[in-house]
Structure 1
Amino acid sequence: MQIAVAGATGTAGASTVALARERGHHVVEISRSAGVDLLTGEGLTAALAGVDVVIDASNLSLQDTEEDLVEAYAQATTRLIAACRSAGVEHLVYLSISTIHDPAFDEFPYYLAKRAQEQVIHDSGFPATIIATTQWHEFAVDPAAVTIGDYEVTVQDWLIQPVAVAAVAEVLHDAAHSRLPRRSLAGPETLRLPELTERYLAARGDERPVRTVEAVMPALAEGALLAPEGAELIGPSVKEWLAGQAQ
Protein backbone atom coordinates (compact mmCIF):
# COMPACT_ATOMS: atom_id res chain seq x y z
CA MET A 1 0.00 0.00 0.00
CA GLN A 2 1.18 3.53 -0.76
CA ILE A 3 0.43 5.90 2.11
CA ALA A 4 0.85 9.66 2.22
CA VAL A 5 1.28 11.24 5.65
CA ALA A 6 0.43 14.93 5.97
CA GLY A 7 2.32 16.60 8.78
CA ALA A 8 5.06 14.04 8.28
CA THR A 9 7.63 15.96 10.32
CA GLY A 10 5.37 16.56 13.33
CA THR A 11 5.19 14.48 16.50
CA ALA A 12 2.39 12.14 15.39
CA GLY A 13 3.31 12.32 11.72
CA ALA A 14 6.91 11.27 12.20
CA SER A 15 5.87 8.30 14.35
CA THR A 16 3.31 7.28 11.74
CA VAL A 17 5.82 7.56 8.88
CA ALA A 18 8.33 5.39 10.75
CA LEU A 19 5.71 2.76 11.62
CA ALA A 20 4.27 2.57 8.09
CA ARG A 21 7.74 2.09 6.62
CA GLU A 22 8.52 -0.53 9.24
CA ARG A 23 5.38 -2.38 8.13
CA GLY A 24 6.57 -2.38 4.53
CA HIS A 25 4.53 0.46 3.01
CA HIS A 26 5.78 3.04 0.57
CA VAL A 27 5.34 6.39 2.34
CA VAL A 28 5.01 9.82 0.77
CA GLU A 29 5.83 12.61 3.22
CA ILE A 30 3.65 15.69 2.96
CA SER A 31 5.15 18.73 4.65
CA ARG A 32 6.44 22.15 3.77
CA SER A 33 10.00 20.85 3.99
CA ALA A 34 9.06 18.29 1.32
CA GLY A 35 7.68 21.03 -0.93
CA VAL A 36 3.99 20.47 -0.17
CA ASP A 37 1.85 23.12 1.54
CA LEU A 38 -1.65 22.20 2.68
CA LEU A 39 -2.55 25.85 3.27
CA THR A 40 -1.90 26.86 -0.35
CA GLY A 41 -2.19 23.49 -2.08
CA GLU A 42 1.30 23.86 -3.55
CA GLY A 43 2.65 20.48 -4.66
CA LEU A 44 -0.29 18.57 -3.22
CA THR A 45 -1.79 16.96 -6.33
CA ALA A 46 1.60 15.76 -7.56
CA ALA A 47 2.46 14.35 -4.13
CA LEU A 48 -0.69 12.20 -4.09
CA ALA A 49 -0.11 10.53 -7.45
CA GLY A 50 -0.41 6.77 -6.93
CA VAL A 51 -1.32 7.10 -3.24
CA ASP A 52 -3.94 4.72 -1.82
CA VAL A 53 -4.54 6.29 1.60
CA VAL A 54 -3.79 9.68 3.12
CA ILE A 55 -3.21 10.03 6.86
CA ASP A 56 -3.60 13.67 7.90
CA ALA A 57 -1.68 14.23 11.13
CA SER A 58 -0.90 17.84 10.30
CA ASN A 59 -0.95 20.74 12.73
CA LEU A 60 -1.05 23.75 10.47
CA SER A 61 0.87 26.91 11.24
CA LEU A 62 -0.29 30.13 9.59
CA GLN A 63 2.34 32.43 8.10
CA ASP A 64 -0.06 35.39 8.18
CA THR A 65 -1.17 36.03 11.77
CA GLU A 66 -4.07 38.14 10.48
CA GLU A 67 -5.55 35.20 8.59
CA ASP A 68 -8.70 33.59 10.00
CA LEU A 69 -7.61 30.31 11.61
CA VAL A 70 -10.95 28.52 11.22
CA GLU A 71 -11.29 29.42 7.56
CA ALA A 72 -7.67 28.53 6.80
CA TYR A 73 -7.99 25.09 8.38
CA ALA A 74 -11.31 24.41 6.63
CA GLN A 75 -9.89 25.44 3.26
CA ALA A 76 -6.81 23.25 3.79
CA THR A 77 -9.02 20.20 4.35
CA THR A 78 -11.19 21.15 1.37
CA ARG A 79 -8.07 21.29 -0.82
CA LEU A 80 -6.78 18.01 0.55
CA ILE A 81 -10.03 16.19 -0.21
CA ALA A 82 -10.20 17.70 -3.70
CA ALA A 83 -6.64 16.54 -4.35
CA CYS A 84 -7.50 13.07 -3.02
CA ARG A 85 -10.42 12.83 -5.45
CA SER A 86 -8.30 14.03 -8.34
CA ALA A 87 -5.50 11.55 -7.57
CA GLY A 88 -7.82 8.60 -7.03
CA VAL A 89 -6.99 8.23 -3.31
CA GLU A 90 -9.30 5.66 -1.75
CA HIS A 91 -9.44 6.79 1.87
CA LEU A 92 -8.55 9.62 4.25
CA VAL A 93 -7.57 9.15 7.90
CA TYR A 94 -7.78 12.38 9.89
CA LEU A 95 -6.22 12.91 13.33
CA SER A 96 -8.40 15.07 15.55
CA ILE A 97 -8.88 15.90 19.25
CA SER A 98 -11.39 14.15 21.50
CA THR A 99 -12.84 17.21 23.21
CA ILE A 100 -13.23 19.75 20.43
CA HIS A 101 -17.04 19.69 20.59
CA ASP A 102 -17.27 20.47 24.31
CA PRO A 103 -19.13 23.80 24.73
CA ALA A 104 -16.32 24.92 27.03
CA PHE A 105 -14.23 25.45 23.90
CA ASP A 106 -16.78 27.42 21.86
CA GLU A 107 -14.50 30.47 21.97
CA PHE A 108 -11.24 28.54 21.56
CA PRO A 109 -10.04 29.28 17.97
CA TYR A 110 -7.85 26.19 17.57
CA TYR A 111 -10.64 23.83 18.62
CA LEU A 112 -13.09 25.68 16.39
CA ALA A 113 -10.66 25.17 13.50
CA LYS A 114 -10.44 21.44 14.21
CA ARG A 115 -14.25 21.29 14.36
CA ALA A 116 -14.37 22.98 10.97
CA GLN A 117 -12.03 20.37 9.49
CA GLU A 118 -14.18 17.53 10.80
CA GLN A 119 -17.26 19.21 9.33
CA VAL A 120 -15.62 19.58 5.92
CA ILE A 121 -14.80 15.87 5.94
CA HIS A 122 -18.33 14.95 6.97
CA ASP A 123 -19.95 17.20 4.37
CA SER A 124 -17.67 16.02 1.57
CA GLY A 125 -18.89 12.43 1.66
CA PHE A 126 -15.34 11.30 0.96
CA PRO A 127 -14.45 7.90 2.52
CA ALA A 128 -12.76 8.87 5.78
CA THR A 129 -11.91 7.80 9.29
CA ILE A 130 -11.60 10.33 12.11
CA ILE A 131 -9.26 9.36 14.95
CA ALA A 132 -9.85 11.63 17.95
CA THR A 133 -7.41 11.50 20.85
CA THR A 134 -6.82 13.13 24.18
CA GLN A 135 -3.51 14.94 24.78
CA TRP A 136 -0.40 12.87 24.27
CA HIS A 137 2.21 11.96 26.87
CA GLU A 138 4.52 14.16 24.83
CA PHE A 139 2.36 17.13 25.89
CA ALA A 140 4.54 17.14 29.04
CA VAL A 141 6.70 19.83 27.41
CA ASP A 142 4.28 21.32 24.90
CA PRO A 143 4.63 25.13 24.65
CA ALA A 144 0.84 25.46 24.59
CA ALA A 145 0.89 24.96 28.36
CA VAL A 146 4.53 24.57 29.38
CA THR A 147 7.23 27.26 29.48
CA ILE A 148 10.78 25.95 29.68
CA GLY A 149 13.04 28.45 31.45
CA ASP A 150 16.71 28.33 32.26
CA TYR A 151 16.11 27.71 35.96
CA GLU A 152 12.54 26.47 36.23
CA VAL A 153 9.67 25.06 34.18
CA THR A 154 6.26 26.73 34.43
CA VAL A 155 3.25 24.51 33.75
CA GLN A 156 -0.44 25.34 33.55
CA ASP A 157 -2.65 23.27 35.82
CA TRP A 158 -4.53 21.16 33.27
CA LEU A 159 -6.26 17.88 34.14
CA ILE A 160 -5.47 15.41 31.36
CA GLN A 161 -5.74 11.76 30.37
CA PRO A 162 -2.73 11.35 28.09
CA VAL A 163 -2.09 8.68 25.50
CA ALA A 164 1.30 7.83 23.98
CA VAL A 165 1.85 9.12 20.47
CA ALA A 166 3.34 5.74 19.48
CA ALA A 167 -0.01 4.15 20.32
CA VAL A 168 -1.78 6.83 18.28
CA ALA A 169 0.47 6.03 15.31
CA GLU A 170 -0.52 2.35 15.59
CA VAL A 171 -4.20 3.28 15.42
CA LEU A 172 -3.67 5.65 12.50
CA HIS A 173 -1.89 2.87 10.64
CA ASP A 174 -4.67 0.40 11.46
CA ALA A 175 -7.31 2.89 10.30
CA ALA A 176 -5.71 2.96 6.87
CA HIS A 177 -6.69 -0.70 6.59
CA SER A 178 -9.83 -1.19 8.73
CA ARG A 179 -11.54 2.04 7.60
CA LEU A 180 -14.00 2.44 10.47
CA PRO A 181 -15.73 5.84 10.42
CA ARG A 182 -14.47 7.05 13.80
CA ARG A 183 -12.42 6.01 16.83
CA SER A 184 -11.81 7.89 20.08
CA LEU A 185 -8.65 7.21 22.09
CA ALA A 186 -7.35 8.08 25.54
CA GLY A 187 -4.76 6.86 27.99
CA PRO A 188 -5.60 4.61 30.93
CA GLU A 189 -5.12 7.18 33.71
CA THR A 190 -5.69 10.81 34.61
CA LEU A 191 -3.25 13.23 36.19
CA ARG A 192 -2.46 16.90 36.31
CA LEU A 193 -0.10 18.26 33.68
CA PRO A 194 2.46 19.68 36.17
CA GLU A 195 2.88 16.19 37.61
CA LEU A 196 3.43 14.71 34.16
CA THR A 197 6.01 17.37 33.36
CA GLU A 198 7.79 16.88 36.68
CA ARG A 199 7.97 13.12 36.21
CA TYR A 200 9.15 13.52 32.61
CA LEU A 201 11.95 15.87 33.60
CA ALA A 202 13.01 13.56 36.41
CA ALA A 203 13.11 10.59 34.04
CA ARG A 204 15.51 12.53 31.82
CA GLY A 205 17.70 13.67 34.69
CA ASP A 206 16.54 17.28 34.45
CA GLU A 207 16.56 18.82 37.94
CA ARG A 208 14.80 22.08 37.11
CA PRO A 209 11.84 22.62 39.45
CA VAL A 210 8.29 22.74 38.11
CA ARG A 211 6.10 25.67 39.11
CA THR A 212 2.34 25.30 38.66
CA VAL A 213 0.28 28.24 37.39
CA GLU A 214 -3.43 28.61 36.68
CA ALA A 215 -4.80 27.25 33.42
CA VAL A 216 -5.74 29.87 30.83
CA MET A 217 -9.32 28.53 30.99
CA PRO A 218 -11.00 27.08 34.11
CA ALA A 219 -12.39 24.20 32.02
CA LEU A 220 -8.85 22.97 31.37
CA ALA A 221 -8.30 22.51 35.11
CA GLU A 222 -11.72 21.01 35.71
CA GLY A 223 -11.53 18.01 33.38
CA ALA A 224 -12.84 19.21 30.02
CA LEU A 225 -9.92 17.39 28.39
CA LEU A 226 -10.67 13.98 29.89
CA ALA A 227 -11.76 11.07 27.72
CA PRO A 228 -15.33 11.26 26.43
CA GLU A 229 -17.76 8.43 27.06
CA GLY A 230 -16.98 5.41 24.92
CA ALA A 231 -13.33 6.25 24.29
CA GLU A 232 -10.90 3.35 23.92
CA LEU A 233 -8.37 3.37 26.75
CA ILE A 234 -4.99 2.22 25.48
CA GLY A 235 -1.56 1.96 27.07
CA PRO A 236 1.19 2.36 27.84
CA SER A 237 0.65 3.84 31.28
CA VAL A 238 2.47 7.02 32.22
CA LYS A 239 4.99 4.98 34.24
CA GLU A 240 5.64 2.64 31.32
CA TRP A 241 6.02 5.54 28.90
CA LEU A 242 8.39 7.38 31.21
CA ALA A 243 10.60 4.30 31.43
CA GLY A 244 11.30 4.73 27.74
CA GLN A 245 12.19 8.42 28.12
CA ALA A 246 15.11 7.97 30.53
CA GLN A 247 18.45 9.09 29.16
Structure 2
Amino acid sequence: MKIAVLGATGTAGREVVRHARANGHDVAELSRSAGIDLAAGTGLVEAFAGSDVVIDASAPQGGSNSDVVAVHKAAAQHISKAAQEAGVGHLVYLSICNIGDACFDEFDYYVAKREQEDVYSASPLATSIVRSAQWMEFATNPAAVQFSDRDVVVSDWLIQPIAVSEVAGSLVRTAEGDPTNYDVAGPEQIRLPELTERLLRARGDERPVRSEEPPIAQLATGVLLAPKGAEILGPTPSQWVDTVVE
Protein backbone atom coordinates (compact mmCIF):
# COMPACT_ATOMS: atom_id res chain seq x y z
CA MET A 1 0.00 0.00 0.00
CA LYS A 2 1.18 3.52 -0.72
CA ILE A 3 0.52 6.04 2.07
CA ALA A 4 0.98 9.80 1.71
CA VAL A 5 1.74 11.41 5.07
CA LEU A 6 0.98 15.10 5.50
CA GLY A 7 3.05 16.76 8.21
CA ALA A 8 5.71 14.09 7.78
CA THR A 9 8.42 16.09 9.56
CA GLY A 10 6.28 16.95 12.60
CA THR A 11 6.15 15.20 15.96
CA ALA A 12 3.34 12.84 14.96
CA GLY A 13 4.21 12.68 11.27
CA ARG A 14 7.72 11.36 11.83
CA GLU A 15 6.31 8.51 13.91
CA VAL A 16 3.61 7.79 11.33
CA VAL A 17 6.29 7.47 8.64
CA ARG A 18 8.32 5.13 10.87
CA HIS A 19 5.34 2.89 11.68
CA ALA A 20 4.13 2.80 8.08
CA ARG A 21 7.52 1.77 6.75
CA ALA A 22 7.92 -0.81 9.51
CA ASN A 23 4.63 -2.32 8.30
CA GLY A 24 6.01 -2.58 4.79
CA HIS A 25 4.20 0.34 3.15
CA ASP A 26 5.51 2.68 0.48
CA VAL A 27 5.48 6.17 2.07
CA ALA A 28 5.38 9.61 0.48
CA GLU A 29 6.64 12.15 3.03
CA LEU A 30 4.81 15.45 2.46
CA SER A 31 5.61 18.65 4.35
CA ARG A 32 6.33 22.35 3.87
CA SER A 33 10.03 21.53 3.50
CA ALA A 34 9.08 19.32 0.55
CA GLY A 35 7.25 22.21 -1.11
CA ILE A 36 3.72 21.40 0.04
CA ASP A 37 1.61 24.48 0.88
CA LEU A 38 -1.63 23.30 2.45
CA ALA A 39 -3.05 26.79 2.86
CA ALA A 40 -2.76 27.39 -0.89
CA GLY A 41 -3.28 23.77 -1.92
CA THR A 42 -0.45 23.83 -4.42
CA GLY A 43 1.05 20.55 -5.61
CA LEU A 44 -1.27 18.28 -3.69
CA VAL A 45 -2.80 16.36 -6.59
CA GLU A 46 0.65 15.48 -7.90
CA ALA A 47 1.89 14.64 -4.39
CA PHE A 48 -1.03 12.26 -3.82
CA ALA A 49 -0.68 10.50 -7.17
CA GLY A 50 -0.65 6.72 -6.78
CA SER A 51 -1.45 6.84 -3.05
CA ASP A 52 -4.04 4.51 -1.60
CA VAL A 53 -4.37 6.45 1.65
CA VAL A 54 -3.58 9.95 2.89
CA ILE A 55 -2.83 10.41 6.60
CA ASP A 56 -3.25 14.04 7.65
CA ALA A 57 -1.05 14.72 10.69
CA SER A 58 -0.32 18.26 9.55
CA ALA A 59 -0.41 21.66 11.23
CA PRO A 60 -1.27 24.06 8.39
CA GLN A 61 0.52 27.42 8.46
CA GLY A 62 -0.59 30.75 7.02
CA GLY A 63 1.01 34.17 7.19
CA SER A 64 1.82 35.93 10.45
CA ASN A 65 -1.55 37.73 10.48
CA SER A 66 -3.63 34.88 9.08
CA ASP A 67 -6.82 33.56 10.62
CA VAL A 68 -5.99 30.17 12.17
CA VAL A 69 -9.50 28.81 11.66
CA ALA A 70 -9.69 29.95 8.04
CA VAL A 71 -6.26 28.51 7.24
CA HIS A 72 -7.12 25.09 8.69
CA LYS A 73 -10.50 24.97 6.98
CA ALA A 74 -8.99 25.93 3.62
CA ALA A 75 -6.25 23.33 4.05
CA ALA A 76 -8.79 20.57 4.69
CA GLN A 77 -10.79 21.65 1.64
CA HIS A 78 -7.69 21.57 -0.54
CA ILE A 79 -6.60 18.19 0.82
CA SER A 80 -10.03 16.62 0.36
CA LYS A 81 -10.42 17.94 -3.19
CA ALA A 82 -6.91 16.91 -4.22
CA ALA A 83 -7.28 13.44 -2.72
CA GLN A 84 -10.46 12.88 -4.69
CA GLU A 85 -8.85 14.13 -7.91
CA ALA A 86 -5.84 11.86 -7.34
CA GLY A 87 -8.04 8.81 -6.79
CA VAL A 88 -7.11 8.29 -3.14
CA GLY A 89 -9.37 5.74 -1.52
CA HIS A 90 -9.17 6.66 2.17
CA LEU A 91 -8.18 9.71 4.24
CA VAL A 92 -7.18 9.39 7.90
CA TYR A 93 -7.27 12.58 9.95
CA LEU A 94 -5.57 13.14 13.31
CA SER A 95 -7.73 15.26 15.62
CA ILE A 96 -8.07 15.92 19.38
CA CYS A 97 -10.39 14.38 21.96
CA ASN A 98 -13.30 16.48 23.24
CA ILE A 99 -12.74 19.53 21.04
CA GLY A 100 -16.49 19.86 20.59
CA ASP A 101 -16.90 20.99 24.21
CA ALA A 102 -18.39 24.49 24.45
CA CYS A 103 -15.51 25.68 26.64
CA PHE A 104 -13.33 25.68 23.51
CA ASP A 105 -15.61 27.95 21.46
CA GLU A 106 -13.12 30.84 21.81
CA PHE A 107 -10.00 28.64 21.56
CA ASP A 108 -9.00 29.21 17.93
CA TYR A 109 -6.85 26.12 17.43
CA TYR A 110 -9.54 23.74 18.68
CA VAL A 111 -12.21 25.53 16.62
CA ALA A 112 -9.90 25.11 13.62
CA LYS A 113 -9.64 21.36 14.26
CA ARG A 114 -13.46 21.19 14.47
CA GLU A 115 -13.71 22.91 11.10
CA GLN A 116 -11.34 20.38 9.58
CA GLU A 117 -13.36 17.50 11.01
CA ASP A 118 -16.51 19.02 9.48
CA VAL A 119 -14.88 19.39 6.05
CA TYR A 120 -13.64 15.81 6.02
CA SER A 121 -16.90 14.39 7.37
CA ALA A 122 -18.88 16.15 4.64
CA SER A 123 -16.54 14.95 1.89
CA PRO A 124 -17.53 12.03 -0.36
CA LEU A 125 -14.04 10.65 0.26
CA ALA A 126 -13.96 7.71 2.68
CA THR A 127 -12.62 9.28 5.88
CA SER A 128 -11.48 8.14 9.32
CA ILE A 129 -11.07 10.55 12.25
CA VAL A 130 -8.76 9.47 15.06
CA ARG A 131 -9.05 11.80 18.06
CA SER A 132 -6.10 11.73 20.43
CA ALA A 133 -5.72 12.80 24.02
CA GLN A 134 -2.75 15.07 24.81
CA TRP A 135 0.58 13.49 24.00
CA MET A 136 3.18 12.66 26.61
CA GLU A 137 5.47 14.89 24.56
CA PHE A 138 3.31 17.87 25.56
CA ALA A 139 5.31 17.85 28.81
CA THR A 140 7.71 20.38 27.28
CA ASN A 141 5.41 22.08 24.76
CA PRO A 142 5.76 25.88 24.81
CA ALA A 143 1.99 26.18 24.42
CA ALA A 144 1.72 25.29 28.10
CA VAL A 145 5.28 25.16 29.48
CA GLN A 146 7.60 28.17 29.89
CA PHE A 147 11.27 27.64 30.66
CA SER A 148 13.59 30.18 32.27
CA ASP A 149 16.99 29.90 33.93
CA ARG A 150 15.33 30.05 37.35
CA ASP A 151 12.29 27.80 37.01
CA VAL A 152 9.71 26.12 34.78
CA VAL A 153 6.12 27.36 34.79
CA VAL A 154 3.49 24.88 33.61
CA SER A 155 -0.19 25.41 32.94
CA ASP A 156 -2.20 23.22 35.30
CA TRP A 157 -3.96 20.91 32.85
CA LEU A 158 -5.46 17.60 33.96
CA ILE A 159 -4.68 15.15 31.15
CA GLN A 160 -4.68 11.47 30.25
CA PRO A 161 -1.62 11.48 28.02
CA ILE A 162 -0.69 9.00 25.33
CA ALA A 163 2.73 8.51 23.74
CA VAL A 164 2.80 9.93 20.22
CA SER A 165 4.24 6.65 18.93
CA GLU A 166 1.04 4.90 20.03
CA VAL A 167 -1.04 7.52 18.23
CA ALA A 168 1.00 7.04 15.08
CA GLY A 169 0.56 3.29 15.26
CA SER A 170 -3.20 3.80 15.52
CA LEU A 171 -3.22 6.04 12.46
CA VAL A 172 -1.35 3.46 10.39
CA ARG A 173 -3.60 0.61 11.54
CA THR A 174 -6.62 2.73 10.63
CA ALA A 175 -5.14 3.40 7.20
CA GLU A 176 -4.84 -0.35 6.68
CA GLY A 177 -8.49 -1.01 7.50
CA ASP A 178 -11.99 0.23 6.80
CA PRO A 179 -12.93 3.84 7.59
CA THR A 180 -13.82 4.42 11.24
CA ASN A 181 -13.85 7.15 13.88
CA TYR A 182 -12.57 6.66 17.43
CA ASP A 183 -10.65 8.18 20.35
CA VAL A 184 -7.32 7.12 21.86
CA ALA A 185 -5.78 8.00 25.22
CA GLY A 186 -3.22 6.77 27.70
CA PRO A 187 -3.85 4.60 30.76
CA GLU A 188 -3.44 7.17 33.56
CA GLN A 189 -4.58 10.65 34.47
CA ILE A 190 -1.91 13.12 35.57
CA ARG A 191 -1.54 16.86 35.99
CA LEU A 192 0.71 18.40 33.36
CA PRO A 193 3.08 20.07 35.88
CA GLU A 194 3.71 16.67 37.48
CA LEU A 195 4.45 15.07 34.11
CA THR A 196 6.84 17.90 33.25
CA GLU A 197 8.59 17.60 36.61
CA ARG A 198 9.01 13.82 36.29
CA LEU A 199 10.59 14.24 32.86
CA LEU A 200 12.93 17.02 33.97
CA ARG A 201 14.09 15.13 37.05
CA ALA A 202 14.76 12.03 34.96
CA ARG A 203 16.94 14.20 32.73
CA GLY A 204 18.81 15.60 35.71
CA ASP A 205 17.17 19.02 35.48
CA GLU A 206 16.53 20.28 39.02
CA ARG A 207 14.83 23.57 38.20
CA PRO A 208 11.69 24.06 40.32
CA VAL A 209 8.39 23.48 38.51
CA ARG A 210 5.57 25.88 39.29
CA SER A 211 1.92 25.59 38.28
CA GLU A 212 -0.21 28.39 36.91
CA GLU A 213 -3.91 28.57 36.13
CA PRO A 214 -4.75 27.51 32.57
CA PRO A 215 -6.35 29.94 30.11
CA ILE A 216 -9.58 27.90 30.20
CA ALA A 217 -10.69 26.73 33.64
CA GLN A 218 -12.00 23.39 32.36
CA LEU A 219 -8.48 22.38 31.30
CA ALA A 220 -7.74 21.97 35.02
CA THR A 221 -10.88 19.96 35.75
CA GLY A 222 -10.72 17.19 33.14
CA VAL A 223 -12.23 18.37 29.86
CA LEU A 224 -9.33 16.66 28.03
CA LEU A 225 -9.59 13.30 29.77
CA ALA A 226 -10.43 10.21 27.73
CA PRO A 227 -14.05 10.21 26.59
CA LYS A 228 -16.25 7.20 27.16
CA GLY A 229 -15.32 4.33 24.86
CA ALA A 230 -11.82 5.61 24.08
CA GLU A 231 -9.20 3.03 23.21
CA ILE A 232 -6.56 2.99 25.97
CA LEU A 233 -3.04 2.46 24.68
CA GLY A 234 0.56 2.45 25.65
CA PRO A 235 2.80 3.26 28.56
CA THR A 236 1.99 5.00 31.80
CA PRO A 237 3.68 8.37 32.38
CA SER A 238 6.36 6.69 34.52
CA GLN A 239 7.04 4.05 31.87
CA TRP A 240 7.20 6.69 29.16
CA VAL A 241 9.67 8.81 31.11
CA ASP A 242 11.89 5.77 31.66
CA THR A 243 11.83 5.08 27.92
CA VAL A 244 12.62 8.56 26.66
CA VAL A 245 15.56 9.13 29.00
CA GLU A 246 17.29 5.78 28.34
TM range (shorter): over 0.9
Structure 1, residues 7-60: CA drift from partner, whole Å, max 9, x if none?
111110000111111222111111110111111112211111111100000122
- Provide the C-alpha distance between the structure 1 equivalents of 2:147 and 2:28, rounded to a whole number of angstroms: 34
Is 1:93 aligned with 2:75?
A: no
1:179 maps to: 178
- Provide the C-alpha distance between the structure 1 equivalents of 2:234 and 2:36, rounded to a whole number of angstroms: 33
- Provide the C-alpha distance between the structure 2 equivalents of 1:180 and 1:127, rounded to a whole number of angstroms: 6
Contact 1:203 1:245 (8 Å CA) reproduced: no
- Provide the C-alpha distance between the structure 2 equivalents of 1:100 and 1:125, rounded to a whole number of angstroms: 23
The alpha carbon displacement at 1:69 in A equals 1.7
The alpha carbon displacement at 1:90 in A equals 0.7
Report the secondary structure of 1:162's partner residue: coil
> TM-score, normalised to structure 1's length?
0.96
The alpha carbon displacement at 1:179 in A equals 2.4
Contact 1:145 1:156 (8 Å CA) reproduced: yes
Matched AA of 1:163: I
Aligned length: 246
Report the secondary structure of 1:155's partner residue: strand
1:212 maps to: 211
- Provide the C-alpha distance between the structure 2 equivalents of 1:179 and 1:172, rounded to a whole number of angstroms: 12
Report the secondary structure of 2:214's partner residue: coil
1:127 maps to: 126
Is 1:112 aligned with 2:122?
A: no
1:28 maps to: 28
Report the secondary structure of 1:151's partner residue: coil
Structure 1, residues 181-218: CA drift from partner, whole Å, max 9, x if none?
20101111101000000001112222222111111111
Structure 1, residues 203-241: CA drift from partner, whole Å, max 9, x if none?
222222211111111111111111111111112111111
Contact 2:126 2:179 (8 Å CA) reproduced: no
1:48 maps to: 48
Matched AA of 2:214: A
Matched AA of 2:29: E
Is 1:64 aligned with 2:64?
A: yes
Give the unaligned 5+ runs of structure 1: none
The alpha carbon displacement at 1:125 in A equals 2.4
1:8 maps to: 8
1:223 maps to: 222
Contact 1:73 1:116 (8 Å CA) reproduced: yes
Contact 2:90 2:179 (8 Å CA) reproduced: no
Q: Identity rate of aligned residues, in percent?
A: 52
- Provide the C-alpha distance between the structure 2 equivalents of 1:24 and 1:121, rounded to a whole number of angstroms: 27
- Provide the C-alpha distance between the structure 1 equivalents of 2:120 and 2:227, rounded to a whole number of angstroms: 21
Once the two structures are superposed, the pairs formed by residues 69-84 of structure 1 within 5 Å of their partners are: 69-84=68-83
1:146 maps to: 145
Matched AA of 1:91: H
Structure 1, residues 44-100: CA drift from partner, whole Å, max 9, x if none?
1111111110000012232232x2221211111010011101111110000000111
- Provide the C-alpha distance between the structure 2 equivalents of 1:189 and 1:20, rounded to a whole number of angstroms: 27
Matched AA of 1:223: G
Is 1:169 aligned with 2:168?
A: yes
Give the unaligned 5+ runs of structure 2: none
Structure 1, residues 101-154: CA drift from partner, whole Å, max 9, x if none?
011111111111100000001111210100001100000001110012223111
Report the secondary structure of 1:244's partner residue: helix
Contact 2:202 2:245 (8 Å CA) reproduced: yes
Which runs of 4 or more aligned residues in structure 1 lie more than 4 Å from their structure 2 counterparts after TM superposition? none
2:236 maps to: 237
Question: What do you get for the CA RMSD once the two structures are aligned?
Answer: 1.1
Deviates more, 1:90-99 or 1:200-209: 200-209
Report the secondary structure of 2:241's partner residue: helix
